[in-house]
Amino acid sequence: MPTYEYETIPKKDGQEPKLFEVVQRMTDEPLTEHPETGEPVRRVISGGISLPVSSKGGDCCDSGCSCV
């Protein structure tokens, strides 16, 4: 199951959001409140990683290029 990152939604100006992670199924609805404190939360969308793959099949070359 994937791990999702959430942050609390600050109620006051200058208040920092608190980040936390939750393991959930992909089919689970996103959380709307912190499971322990009840504070409102939103899911953080972040970029994943990508691995270079050659369209010619096999592994990408080691030259650091963008294989095509």
Number of H helices, E strands in the chain: 0, 3
pLDDT tens, per residue, the chain with 68 residues: 899 999 999 999 999 999 999 999 999 999 999 999 999 999 998 876 766 666 655 555 666 666 55
**Which tokens go with 17?**
């959001």
Q: What is the pTM of this model?
A: 0.65
Sign of CA dihedral 58, 60, 63, 68: positive
Beta pairing partners, 43:
6
Whole-angstrom distance, CA of residue 8 vs CA of residue 40: 6
> For the chain, which residues make up each domain, given as ranges?
1-46
| Helix, strand, coil tally for the chain in percent (to 5) | 0, 25, 75
